[in-house]
Structure 1
């Protein structure tokens, strides 16, 4: 009888111990500590783009990273966290666009191309941001493009097509998201703003303090700024207003369309009179506000102009965009390191452009003597040009994006829009020079390919039709940026495979507790890592 009692007591003890162990197992304890989730998206950023940044960090003779021991923030986070690979195709497609990619990352559900917040059939799906709101957490979206652009919209908007940004603005204004910081004012202001002397134009100009030029894209008289203010949002439109604000609900729109590109930001970021905030400043302000919520927060930060640079095959701008993203990562990483309750995910929605350095038979180096024993009777004489580190500095020293260069050209009177003038403008902004004949090639191909309004200088000439830029260079007159890229490629040692997206896998960098970040360091579809993130951040 005594033995039976002892056996029963032992069994009860074992059951109790097992129950306590199971209820307090490390996975659950750690999962409960994922109070905050920050997702940073380099739109269009594949491993190739990381490779360009890394080459500049490690090898550029005058790299701005020399003082940082030639180590990027991306490298630091990779070393501290987990590194995986993401494939990201949209449903029933080989390649994704940003809308489907964003929606898949936000919901963990397969999505059709150009859809927002939908499943394969077009039904609305709940996103991680919406789940965070349901759990009482604060939420925020930050981008250097437009807040109505596909990547931010995919985390909250449910819509058949990404291109109706006016409707996206309506939905964002009604979403209850605590912090919205980006560009894209044009989708929030009444149509009559386009009449400079109208009442609405004067009203909006008073609100934004002449921070930037105005042009509405709306087709109605809705003033979404006023509606947002009535919902409790504080409105800011420039860097100074952003710095002064101390609020829990913030809408910041800092440009009419996209925000200034990273070359402009690099040139002005230390200027005390700079009017626009940097992506880093937007991220820091968002974290400052959202972290006040005791339940935690969700924040998505997009470096969206990496994609724009790659669509244009603009290698110099791409380098600056990657540096802008890396500096923002450094600020967020520094904040996350101070806490044990936050998960940081750095990834991309897709790769754009298929960029890489490549060796060539152009400018083959001259033979030279080497002191090594193997070269005592011969010279070092490579058969090809493998590139030199100095060209990395030349890429960094680009003074304007290709878009900005052509904007300067287009602003000239038509009689001055000549190949000579285009070559002059390009050569004033790039370290890689072109000739007037090269400029003629750019203008010729653009006219023949897309039938743009003819430049007066070219009207009297007849040119052969050129068809090699049609299928994978799809953005109208922006084709000329891609043609310029092809012309300077031989000196940049930089090659591009396309003007659109590729299905090349992209990085997945996860920093969190060991248990919460376990399972990310492998090959995953974007829907798979999204589901894992939901499980550790907002479990059912």
Structure 2
């Protein structure tokens, strides 16, 4: 949109109106910035209830990610049941990994597999409930490609590994590395699809680089860096998982135990007390 509020045709509208297939796949909410930037006109990115309703109007073929809360009548301010409205338009509405398996790649699909962003890949692989319920990016990308490639006039599919960005903002080494590896697998899915074809262009781009987990030069020398990578390989959960069960009343020992379970190595009492102070709103940077 222009600063004056003029709506421009989005790239997905251009492809849709030309009779081509259209798809958005992400590990963020399907109403989040990147997928919406390909297909939605909205002056404020946080109007995600309105973005969800606009997805209904635009009638793109494939929509997959998180963000179920923006389609749920109990969580939307206007009480609209957008999941039902998508079904009334002929969409398959998938809410789980099993629903995606049952779809059959026919017709249009709305997949909202989590209330907000999809869980980080690291948390997913160590949480049975996530493994049972939530499909991962390579599987979603593959399903979208199988559906959209049925259009003889071609298609445009945008696939986003959006939680890499989130983990970088949070200085979350485990979250970043494992989601980046998963995105690399999704790239492999796209390249395997394109291999041997002369009609398919695969574009791989970064959103923006942010933060620095400090994976190199860990310890006193660069030669100590492999120790850091070995340590990351033992991580079980992300920082988000650690914080999800801590609050202002958490003791330093509870914090130590939570971190040790996630990272598989202990932190000192003074390090735990830094986090304790932050949870209480008392931490001040030096």
TM-score w.r.t. the length of structure 1 is 0.50
Runs of 5+ unmatched residues, structure 1: 1-117, 192-215, 365-383, 450-464, 469-540
- Alignment partners' CA distance in 2, 1:398 and 1:261: 13
Q: Give the C-alpha shift of residue 268 in structure 1.
A: 6.6
Q: Give the C-alpha shift of residue 339 in structure 1.
A: 1.5
2:34 pairs with 1:151: yes
Paired residue secondary structure (1:439): helix
Match of residue 234, structure 2, among 390, 397, 400: 397
- Aligned pairs for 1:288-327 (under 5 A) are 288-327=146-185
Paired residue secondary structure (1:348): coil
2:83 pairs with 1:225: yes
Matched residue pairs, number?
A: 285
Paired residue secondary structure (1:154): helix
- Alignment partners' CA distance in 1, 2:19 and 2:67: 28
Paired residue secondary structure (2:53): helix
Corresponding residue number in structure 2 for 1:406: 243
- Alignment partners' CA distance in 1, 2:265 and 2:126: 19
Q: Residues 351, 122 of structure 1: CA spacing in aligned structure 2 closer, same or farther, 3 A cutoff?
A: farther
Corresponding residue number in structure 2 for 1:348: 206
- Alignment partners' CA distance in 2, 1:120 and 1:354: 33
Q: Give the C-alpha shift of residue 256 in structure 1.
A: 0.9
2:97 pairs with 1:264: no
- Alignment partners' CA distance in 2, 1:408 and 1:421: 10
Paired residue secondary structure (2:245): helix
- Alignment partners' CA distance in 1, 2:231 and 2:41: 44
2:65 pairs with 1:182: yes
2:284 pairs with 1:447: no
Corresponding residue number in structure 2 for 1:119: 2
- Alignment partners' CA distance in 1, 2:127 and 2:285: 40
Paired residue secondary structure (1:390): helix
Q: Residues 441, 289 of structure 1: CA spacing in aligned structure 2 closer, same or farther, 3 A cutoff?
A: same
Q: Residues 155, 443 of structure 1: CA spacing in aligned structure 2 closer, same or farther, 3 A cutoff?
A: same
Runs of 5+ unmatched residues, structure 2: none
Q: Give the C-alpha shift of residue 352 in structure 1.
A: 1.6
Q: Give the C-alpha shift of residue 304 in structure 1.
A: 0.5
- Aligned pairs for 1:455-534 (under 5 A) are 466-467=284-285
Paired residue secondary structure (2:284): coil
Q: Give the C-alpha shift of residue 306 in structure 1.
A: 0.2
Paired residue secondary structure (2:272): helix
Q: Give the C-alpha shift of residue 390 in structure 1.
A: 3.1
2:111 pairs with 1:252: yes
- Aligned pairs for 1:46-445 (under 5 A) are 118-191=1-74, 216=75, 218-246=76-104, 247-267=106-126, 274-359=132-217, 362=219, 364=220, 384=221, 386-410=223-247, 417-445=250-278
- RMSD between superposed Cα atoms in Å: 2.2
Paired residue secondary structure (1:409): coil
Paired residue secondary structure (1:309): helix
Q: Deviations over 1:268-320 (max 9, x none)?
A: 79x9x722211111001101111111111010001000011111101112110
- Verify the 8 A CA contact 1:319 1:396 in the aligned structure 2: no
- Verify the 8 A CA contact 1:317 1:398 in the aligned structure 2: no
Q: Give the C-alpha shift of residue 221 in structure 1.
A: 1.6
Q: Give the C-alpha shift of residue 389 in structure 1.
A: 1.3
- Alignment partners' CA distance in 1, 2:34 and 2:225: 36
Greater RCO between the two (CA within 8 Å, min separation 6)? 1
Paired residue secondary structure (1:140): strand
- Alignment partners' CA distance in 2, 1:173 and 1:396: 41
Q: Give the C-alpha shift of residue 447 in structure 1.
A: 3.4
Corresponding residue number in structure 2 for 1:58: none
- Alignment partners' CA distance in 1, 2:269 and 2:214: 27
- Alignment partners' CA distance in 2, 1:359 and 1:282: 36
- Verify the 8 A CA contact 2:94 2:112 in the aligned structure 1: yes
